[in-house]
Structure 1
């Protein structure tokens, strides 16, 4: 990965007010390329695994292997990212992931592919995701000088690109490429990581906001700022990030919202295909159209997130999206036809899309840059850790109370998350926290 740096931080000019810098557009393009490859890969992976085994346990391991590194390595990865040059960490990680995907391509060509090999590749790709996502979540507020308006605008563009590339274009392309040649989807994913690596590598080294330092690349100033803490053990540094999250009431509330949401969403997703087939009487094509409805709503939500936040305030908007998510999922569970089901999923996707733009931007604006990797990793561990629980809950509810139960219970859970924003993430609390973070940052810069 990237090496430690002790270069003296320089202070480049801050981003132009209200305008995203050129460096962000390269970062956005890198994310779009990578998302397209991910959509292709995630569509082709279960198809390839099903050709190798029909064992549900093994298929589940292949599908979930990429998440396991977050549980075993997430906090440590976040601590390492806070030591390293974040820009360099990102492009090296994606270069490594591109090289790693050559392995299944060669294995397919040589008829050497096996389920254990697929699991090993997924584990290594997931480890790379720990480093890349931790570095990216820390680099973006550094690049945009923790300006919450720019962070929300950037988040909307990134989320929109992810929806278009990973949800719309990627899966059908992955299925088509797999039908033409089993190695092709993995080759395209490798090329997408290579493109992402080259784009991030091309970002000028001094491209970051005032007060964050530049030195030998984005993230160097932060590395220098935490030179003293870096002398402690990695685990001690990781615990600092987790402790910061647990003590910060607003950040913890913003992290609990998607954690509870993941229990509901994953529980519903676990039986969605069965519900579509047996209750809505849809075939495979109809099931795919349901997913398109949700993705379309998600894209609309990312576009409207900024306007919704300006109209209701971020806290008010997050309360509204929680209620809409709950109502949409309950409505989906109660509807008996494909058209209302598609409309309900579109509403659910819109609320999710807006939430995924508004909430992360607040966290990125509040977390000190020297802790961004560690706190971001702790937040992901909390949210991703809830996903397996959701899958188990959804399966148990469906088997004991019927296929509608996961959607109805999940909808109640989602609506209940509005209590989080009503208590700990109100407009007033968010404004006070942002003002305090800005004052601390200005005091540190003057000192």
Structure 2
């Protein structure tokens, strides 16, 4: 494997994360803090406008819908564009949207329809940013497996600590002061992130076939995922999770208020419990668990843990027990993400990285909107506990289906093929 450009060197000595990664990590942390404030405030804003569980679930659907509508095209475009530039422009796009939302809120024009449009457009910006970031990181780190796992762990840890631990309580508190204040904080964070990302070294733009359509490129990336059993398994595993967690998250704010007796600030701390577990999973558990069990077995174990934790959460009346189960679930989810991202970035060719990342996210997130709608419907028809029991059943049942696709043997064979090439 040869070096394509200065600043992106293959590591043959003891791996060490480059200074550029520190700037990328800082940008991600700043942005995640604002995201956490926004993530807590958005459902609270929706609940202030409507108490219908189905209506509240539509906000969640609108957030992930861009991945279904433009996901494959976004991946193809990322593989044609400067990935660093794509990231900072996506940040500025989201900042501008949030400024408009603040203005609309001040004018009394931010109702449920406008909130749904805002959630969708912010999801578009998140899609381009995340796909570009996943494609950029392997080039920055020379596709070194140890560096990728460490970097993904730190990025996930930063996202968890800032976006889920610190951000939600801040967002909940700011929402109690004024409904649109969390949006202001998020807009500022996106601007700061964009400025940091502009200082990163540019990555090489992959070669492409002249005259080929964007849609043809998109189809190539999707076919690459579905024809590779390991990549498909790595995408299906979170797809099953997103079906379950879509149902869980769609009515979480109502469950927290009506069943656990939590108010706005308490709801933020419930989200923070998930973040504590996520931080441990990303920073502490993922590496040692992979070494102990192997990647495939570790992924199967985390699926079982997620299902069991959600099942106990559904039975909970005590907010402390609910918080503990949310923390355990967050730990398993973060471990899954770090291990899955790192393996994918190791085995996928650079020219396809954006498309494969987008196609994987499409498969992974395609079940999310269905889960959110299902959660809203189950809560309306059978009570607020029903989505949690259904989610646990899906997670535990589907673990058997996906474990053979991402087994230790499959992972070892894919890594060996990458080294040989």
Is 1:190 aligned with 2:191?
no
Note closer, same or farther for the CA distance 1:59–1:267 as it changes in structure 2 (3 Å cut). Answer: closer
Q: CA deviation at 1:306?
A: 0.7
**Given the alignment, which residue of 63, 84, 87 partners 1:90?**
87
The answer for the alignment partner of 1:243 in structure 2 is 223
The answer for the alignment partner of 2:262 in structure 1 is 283
The answer for the alignment partner of 2:5 in structure 1 is 10
Q: Distance in 2 between matches of 1:191 and 1:386?
A: 32
Say which is worse superposed, 54-63 or 282-291, in terms of deviation.
54-63
How do 1:329-348 residues align onto structure 2 when only pairs under 5 Å count?
Answer: 329-335=310-316, 337-348=318-329
Residue aligned with 2:143, SS = coil
**Given the alignment, which residue of 16, 19, 27 partners 2:16?**
19
Give TM-score, length-normalised by structure 2: 0.89
Contact 2:64/2:369, CA 8 A, preserved across alignment: no
Is 1:321 aligned with 2:269?
no
Q: Distance in 2 between matches of 1:404 and 1:112?
A: 34
Say which is worse superposed, 337-346 or 130-139, in terms of deviation.
337-346
The answer for the alignment partner of 1:4 in structure 2 is none
How do 1:149-160 residues align onto structure 2 when only pairs under 5 Å count?
Answer: 149-160=146-157
Q: Distance in 1 between matches of 2:124 and 2:250?
A: 24
The answer for the alignment partner of 1:260 in structure 2 is 240
Q: Distance in 2 between matches of 1:201 and 1:372?
A: 21
**Given the alignment, which residue of 423, 432, 442 partners 2:404?**
423
Q: Distance in 1 between matches of 2:116 and 2:234?
A: 32
CA deviations on 1:237-258 (whole Å, 9 max, x unpaired) are: 1000010000000000111111
* Structure 2: gaps (5+ residues): none
Q: CA deviation at 1:45?
A: 3.0
Q: CA deviation at 1:73?
A: 1.0
Residue aligned with 2:142, SS = coil
CA deviations on 1:284-331 (whole Å, 9 max, x unpaired) are: 365554433322222211121111111111112112212222222223
How do 1:139-178 residues align onto structure 2 when only pairs under 5 Å count?
Answer: 139-178=136-175
Q: Distance in 1 between matches of 2:100 and 2:236?
A: 38
| Bigger relative contact order (CA 8 A; separation at least 6) | 2
**Given the alignment, which residue of 362, 366, 379 partners 2:360?**
379
Aligned-CA RMSD value: 2.7
Q: CA deviation at 1:180?
A: 3.8
Q: Distance in 2 between matches of 1:149 and 1:61?
A: 40
CA deviations on 1:352-377 (whole Å, 9 max, x unpaired) are: 12111111111111111111111111
Q: Distance in 2 between matches of 1:276 and 1:61?
A: 18
* Structure 1: gaps (5+ residues): 1-7, 206-216, 441-447
Q: Distance in 2 between matches of 1:47 and 1:271?
A: 11
In our comparison, the structure showing a higher alpha carbon Rg is: 1
Is 1:390 aligned with 2:371?
yes
Note closer, same or farther for the CA distance 1:348–1:384 as it changes in structure 2 (3 Å cut). Answer: same
Note closer, same or farther for the CA distance 1:115–1:389 as it changes in structure 2 (3 Å cut). Answer: closer
